[in-house]
Amino acid sequence: MTKKQKKMLIRILVAAALMLILKFVPLPLSGVSMFLLWLIPYFIIGYDILRKAWKGILNRQVFDENFLMAVATLGALAIGLLKTGDYDEAVAVMLFYQIGELFQSYAVGKSRRNISELMDIRPDYANVEQDGQLVKVDPDEVEIGTVITVNPGEKIPLDGIVEDGESSLNTSALTGESVPRDVKPGDEVISGCINMSGLLRIRTTKVFGESTVSKVLDLVENASSRKSRSENFIARFARYYTPVVVFSAVALALLPPLVRLIIGQAPDWGDWIYRALTFLVISCPCALVISIPLSFFAGIGGAGKAGILVKGSNYLEALANTGTVVFDKTGTLTMGVFDVVDIHHSELDRETMLEYAALAESASSHPIAVSIRKAWGKPIDLSRVGKVEEIGGNGVVVEIDGRQVAAGNSRLMRHLGIEPIECHSAGTIVHMAIGNAYAGHIVISDVIKPDAADAIAALKRAGVRSTVMLTGDGPSAAAQVAEALGIDRVHSDLLPGDKVEKVEELLGAKKPGETLAFVGDGINDAPVLSRADLGIAMGAMGSDAAIEAADVVLMDDDPLKVSKAIRIARKCMGIVRENIIFALGIKLACLVLGALGIANMWLAVFADVGVMILAVLNAIRALFVRKL
């Protein structure tokens, strides 16, 4: 509990004690003397509300909950002084309102503390060696290429590459998973992880402002600035609702007595003014104004603890409406780790063809190129490689030992006027041509992720209507993966630009009100992530492109997190709808009862403070995320 909350709690306890004494202890006082005594607990508990209401009037922002509370309670005190002699309702209304505000403050604080656990990934210092001694410096001051030392138990302050040492890293603050990650020299590491065992020496590859931890913190801190339609609706609703109820209360206080006066009956001003004041207390929109943003705030915090970063409540709302999920295959549903499984050759022997393929792919960082060089397994003599021409989405044409060598897909072969021999093996086919003659092809296979099939099944259980897979693989390999995973539709032989066109085609065919989400690895899929209704980047630890392009960022590469994100969003939206229906329903019923004179100030307190407390309790349920 904060210092401010403790101060409010003391005010509540003192005011409640004084109220009970004045209510139940017989005192030889009455009239103005008793009124002045009741003003003591009233001002102890309500002085800040009166001050805020007065400031609102001076700033021409009259119609808010402080104004409603001030008018209602001051009016109740006036009725007590002039008519009834009872002041407990006025003090009680202000007292219970402040109890509700304290509870709401505590609930918001709990949500912020929950998100603060994620924010604990911010490193406090970096160990840099100076004159043979380790010196702690601000991570902002560390330049690229600096070697830093990370001791066991310390956070890794900056992204880099391990130069010396082996250890296990705790990545749970970023991924939500407790399984440690082992690292050794040559491995990339990212800021925000905790070094669990061995001492590591790391050469930094990014300044702190560009590091993973900095980007994640910036994302979380700015999430609340992107409002959902529900939040914007509540803000507009409160702006018009409050003036309407104030003028309705004025009409309720004046019109019935005037009508009774005109028809010759006693106007009974006190009764109708009391009803109007009760009406004002009931009408206070606190439950909606507080609980709806808190629901989204809690939902984003709960998702963050699970390693799912949502960039704003508008994206959380879109995620809840997901009807179609489109997956990129490589690195998303499959491991993205390719192996050469077969070589079909014609003129050249197997060894020579693999050597030529490794030389042709020597300059490429594509996973397929890496797998070919890995299969060759020998040093590559780059002096044998001459002119290199890369044809986007098709392959490469290279000069090796003075001969033209082409390595790529069937489109590349036809582009060169060479007819490839089709392969019926499942996998990615790299066709080879030497000179102008077809030489054969290499079959490369990617491994399906262990949880991929469960992830597709979980999406269907979550109510996702359609699952689609996009891939550059040939039809046979694509169909095999889709069938193994239970994916509804598959589109193969796609270039990067074709994927954008296919997503636009799927967007045109979706149902109204549905969201189409695209899930990719965030590195090569940035254009598609941006084009879909909702871009979800998977396995984004250390990927700047993913964090920049996507609306939702999954910090590890577990495809089950997609259905978990949708479940969190739907739970949050369910809570929002429950709070809207509950708050408006109770308030409407109590407003009618108040106008008819059936409801008193005590029921008004429940309609305002009680409903707010229940709505806030419901909202903080969004913080808690069940495991799959």
As annotated, the active-site residues are: 328
User: What is the H or E stretch that residue 379 is in?
Assistant: none
> Which two three-digit tokens encode residue 334?
């499959």
> Which two three-digit tokens encode residue 513?
């009100």
Question: In DSSP terms, which residues pair with 308 in a beta bridge?
Answer: 554
HSE at residue 189, side-chain half, CA atoms within 13 A, is 36
Q: Decide the pairing of beta strands 428-434 and 322-328.
A: unpaired
Distance CA 1, CA 109 (A): 8
Alpha-carbon separation of residue 295 from 389, 562, 573, 575, 606 (angstroms):
54, 21, 8, 7, 21
> Which two three-digit tokens encode residue 540?
């984004």
In 10 A of CB 114, how many CB atoms?
Answer: 19
Distance CA 220, CA 174 (A): 12
Sign of torsion, CA 311 313 314 316?
positive
Burial of 168 (0-12, 13-18, 19+ CB in 10 A): middle
User: Is the separation of the CB atoms in 228 and 251 below 8 Å?
Assistant: no
Distance CA 496, CA 473 (A): 12
Query: φ and ψ at 413, to 5 degrees?
Result: -60, -45
